[in-house]
Amino acid sequence: MPAILGIYYVLSFSRFLQNTALFLASMFFYSWGEPVYALIMLFSIAANYVFGLLIACSGKAATKKRFLFFGIAANLAALFYFKYTHFLLVNIDPSGYLETLVPLVALPIGISFYTFQAMSYIIDIYRGRVAAQRNPIYLGMYIAFFPQLIAGPIVTYNVIEDQILYRKTTWHKFSIGFCRFVTGLGKKVLIANNMAIVADRIYEMAAFGSLPASLSWLGAASYTLQIYFDFSAYSDMAIGLGLLFGFVLPENFDYPYCAKSVTEFWRRWHMTLGQWFRDYVYFPLGGSRVGNLDLLVRNLFVVWLLTGLWHGAEWTFVMWGILQFVCMVGEKLFSFEKMRLSRAKHLYLILVIIISFALFRSDNLPAASVYYAGMFGFAGFWSDFTWMFVKENLVVYLAAILFCLPVSRRFNYMLVNGNYGWAGKLAMGTYPALILGIFLLSLTYLVKGAYNPFIYFRF
């Protein structure tokens, strides 16, 4: 990171050289962990570059649509082969014979993210929202941009088109970017990873049979906190790194656990994925303006079935997507968001999210059924392990709950701007020390080899 930053700012006299440096750095970064599958990335860049030009240069609407179809098919074919082939073969032939005919391949990291970005590029050209990129290196930089390559946020081409050539780098952006990166690093290393220790240990215990309800709920709640702080941390780090290079990337989380319905939750959680499905699936199907309840339900079902499958090739993800669909349809039918009793609605949301993430975390449906049996009291209610885990991680739990709330945003605002009188000015003076402390403490955890799982490997 220091090396590419130095190179980037030395090349500030040429935007072309800066973009080329970022593209090469991104490919180096990807090749470090995926040396063979970097070729798949290069193929994706080349194919979408060609399809983009073909769509832009075609005079007839039918020809444009034909090239768009082949471009989308090529992107989805690569995604399907690596991510869903064996899932499909196992479900077609439970004996496993068909599976032996196709070699087992590892899932290229980040393929779900960069495939969606590539498809948004050619779709937006077809819609006339953006112009085709004539420089393949610039397109490659967009698709392979290393800060958000492997865990999002998903950046559509229309968001970044002008920034490719006309972004500005300033000390203000740089300082905000560094602080945002450190904030994300702290969320990941200090909170998410410690929540992962509890969640993973409890789920390992559940592999041997149902657990008491208190322990099962603690494991599900711990995973609910882990996945938020893990994923939002990666988004914070990506947005921060983007700012170091002058790029303004879209926000991906807006305190989703403060929502009061599943519908609102999905306006706040992984917002770029929701916006992608809204713009490229839901709206083309007719959205909510179809004037027919059956069509509305169909549109929501398609979106949430695809959203579940996007997260992984396993029935747990399919059922998780269907659960979100059922809750959202129920909320629309009963005008749930217009109801009062906000505390009861918030409690409902938290219960639904914890229950649904218990399914999301399970390896398969039988494992999920065993875990749910524990959550609903079929193996008793109390375990001494529950108190042990809470006692050993009490500070982390309190920090996790606190920073799920907008109070963290207000606290950050006070620190940065020095509002709220003398206390605010004092806090403002301590902000650099706080950021540096988080940075050094996070590095200490990483250097000593603390537990550091990456949830989104499987996506």
CA distance 323 to 197: 27
Instruction: Note the residue count of the chain.
Output: 459
**CA dihedral of residues 26, 29, 34, 35 (deg, nearest 10):** 90
Max Cα–Cα distance, the chain, nearest Å: 72
Helices (H), 269-364: 271-277, 283-285, 293-311, 315-333, 342-361
**Nearest C-alpha neighbor of 283 from the set 303, 260, 313:** 303
Q: Compute the distance between CA of residue 311 and CA of residue 453 in angstroms, rounded to an integer.
A: 17
DSSP string for 163-177: HHHH----HHHHHHH
For residue 29, the SS3 value is helix
> Which of 86, 172, 270, 311 is flagged as catalytic?
311
**CA-CA-CA-CA torsion sign (18, 20, 23, 29):** negative
238 neighbors 250 (Cβ within 8 angstroms): no
- Residue 378 is classified by DSSP as B
* In contact, 277 and 300? CB cutoff 8 Å: no
* CA distance linking residue 234 with residue 258, whole number of Å: 20
Q: What is the CA radius of gyration of the chain?
A: 23
The Cα–Cα gap between 57 and 237 comes to 38
**Distance between CA atoms of residues 290 and 278, nearest Å:** 14
Residue 346 annotated in active site:
no
Residues 44/120, Cβ–Cβ less than 8 Å: no
Continuous H helices in 102-170: 111-127, 136-144, 157-160, 163-166
Query: What b/e readout covers 333-365, taking b as 16+ CB neighbours within 10 angstroms?
Result: eeebeeeeeeeebeebbbebbbbbbbbbbbeee
The enclosing H or E element of 150 equals none
Active site residues: 311
